[in-house]
């Protein structure tokens, strides 16, 4: 039988994995937005600048801000 503490540890591990996946997806989105901006600049279209947004705090990590393109 699994103890409650084991279940808590398992859920915390799952949360850390999800947070890492989210961070990876945010990085991919940022790269795609930058690519769009580069393409639009080549076509003479004006785009907005980067916006600082908070990223999720990983298990034991620090709060950081990441720059994403709107």
Q: Which two tokens stand for residue 15?
A: 């949360």
Bridge partners of 68? Answer: 51
Q: What is the pTM of this model?
A: 0.53
Quick check: 60 pLDDT over 60?
no
Band (pLDDT 50/70/90 cuts) for residue 43 is: confident
| Domain residue spans of the chain | 4-68
Are 56 and 67 in contact, with CB atoms under 8 Å apart? no
For the chain, how many residues are written?
70
Q: DSSP class of residue 64?
A: -
Are 56 and 21 in contact, with CB atoms under 8 Å apart? no
């Amino acid at each position: 039988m699994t103890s409650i503490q084991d279940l808590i540890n398992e859920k915390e591990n799952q949360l850390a994995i999800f947070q890492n996946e989210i961070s990876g997806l945010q990085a991919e989105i940022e790269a795609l937005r930058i690519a769009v901006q580069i393409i639009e600049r080549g076509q003479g279209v004006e785009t907005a600048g980067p916006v600082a947004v908070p990223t999720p705090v990983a298990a034991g990590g620090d709060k950081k801000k990441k720059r994403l393109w709107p």
